Amino acid sequence: MCVIFIFQYIGTLDVPRPSSRVEIVAAMRRIRYEFKAKAIKKKKVTLTVSTDGVKVQIRKKKKKNLTSFDESRLLIMTHAIYRIFYVSHDSQDLKIWSYIARDGPSNVFKCNVFKAYKKVRRKFILYSLG
């Protein structure tokens, strides 16, 4: 079973291992402001949470005449549950949240920041992995 959420993906940056919530929130805000200053657009993504881990994919646009579809092109990142270090929200803007995960190959901590849509913030879809 997995849960799918729809968000806007703000961005990801490498961070040193955080030792307090203040450092985590500071990293989250730094990412928001850096990506905003560079005028990088937010991507519409689906975040899938399951027992295998967290998977972030660009939202699929439905096209009528799509014959071959490569789902791997849409994958932005994937993290195993045991690699996720911390999950937090921004107390000044409750639609902004992030999670910090240790990257598999490099063992570097990465902070991934997302923004929830106001109207779908509490909606989610349950899928059964049969």
Mean pLDDT value across residues 23-28: 86
The answer to whether the CB of 115 falls within 8 A of the CB of 8 is: yes
* Average pLDDT of the chain to the nearest whole number: 80
DSSP string for 71-82: GGGGEEEEEEGG
Mean pLDDT value across residues 31-44: 89
- The pLDDT tens digits for 65-123 are 555 555 555 888 899 999 998 888 888 888 888 899 998 778 889 999 999 886 444 44
Question: Domain tally for the chain?
Answer: 1
Tokens (6 digits) for 109: 């901590």
- At 54, is the secondary structure helix, strand, or coil? strand
Tokens (6 digits) for 68: 């071959």
Q: Which domain holds residue 105?
A: 2-59+68-127
CATH code of residue 105: 2.30.29.30
Tokens (6 digits) for 102: 């240790």
Q: What pLDDT shows up at residue 114? A: 93
| pTM, 2 dp | 0.77
